[in-house]
Chain A
Amino acid sequence: GNSVTQMEGPVTLSEEAFLTINCTYTATGYPSLFWYVQYPGEGLQLLLKATKADDKGSNKGFEATYRKETTSFHLEKGSVQVSDSAVYFCALCGDGEYGNKLVFGAGTILRVKS
């Protein structure tokens, strides 16, 4: 079945450092890919998405490119801020999946120090 694997955390960075959170997936066909962010005490919010190969999703300085050849959707940001501290989830929705079902990775905790 479909699955998502994320790098384990926590990831601890200093403010203005470069961020990469790796995400790879296993799925048949052409799934849609998502990054969700969960701030402390809150629900998940969609950060960015890509629905076909080579698409780049971007939002709030974060970017991720849908790489079909490496089955990856790595999250990057050039300069992190303390306010980016959160849990980040990579997720996919299978090609032709009935039910809008999202399959999530385990989540990666990001801590940014000032």
Chain B
Amino acid sequence: EAQVTQNPRYLITVTGKKLTVTCSQNMNHEYMSWYRQDPGLGLRQIYYSMNVEVTDKGDVPEGYKVSRKEKRNFPLILESPSPNQTSLYFCASSYVRGISYEQYFGPGTRLTVT
């Protein structure tokens, strides 16, 4: 089954404790992206990657890091989480082919930073 998986689905942590949210896709997509969803703001892009070893900032990259060492994986790293990073996070992937592609989303990771 074609899918994007994220782990963990729920995470409660404390300020400053480094964490990683994993994302993996099995569709051989070149493009992967991280979004955060906050009430009243919709989804905002954090980082994206066009292919292995190619990453770039989205609209809200501060406080986050990413890496793309393998095509299927795109982990999101919070080196020193703060309460304002409490949010619902989504990973997405797609082919890079023109403008009518579809982005596939993971089930989401709900992060709470206390």
> Chain A interface (Cβ within 8 Å of chain B)?
4, 32, 36, 41-46, 49, 51, 89, 93, 99-102, 104-107
Q: By the criterion of a CB under 8 Å from any partner CB, how many residues of chain B are at the interface?
A: 27
Contact partners of A101 in chain B: CB under 8 A: 33, 45, 48, 58
By the criterion CB–CB under 8 Å, are A46 and B103 in contact?
yes
The smallest C-beta distance from A35 to any residue of chain B, in angstroms, reads 12
* Other 13 A-B pairs with CB < 8 A, given A49-B102, A51-B100: A4-B42, A32-B99, A32-B100, A42-B108, A44-B43, A44-B90, A49-B100, A93-B99, A99-B56, A100-B48, A100-B103, A101-B45, A101-B48
Q: Does B52 contact A (CB under 8 A)?
A: no
By the criterion CB–CB under 8 Å, are B90 and A43 in contact?
yes
Cross-chain pairs A/B with CB under 8 angstroms, 17 sampled:
A41-B107, A42-B107, A43-B4, A43-B90, A45-B105, A46-B102, A46-B103, A49-B100, A99-B33, A99-B48, A99-B50, A100-B48, A100-B96, A104-B42, A104-B44, A105-B42, A106-B41
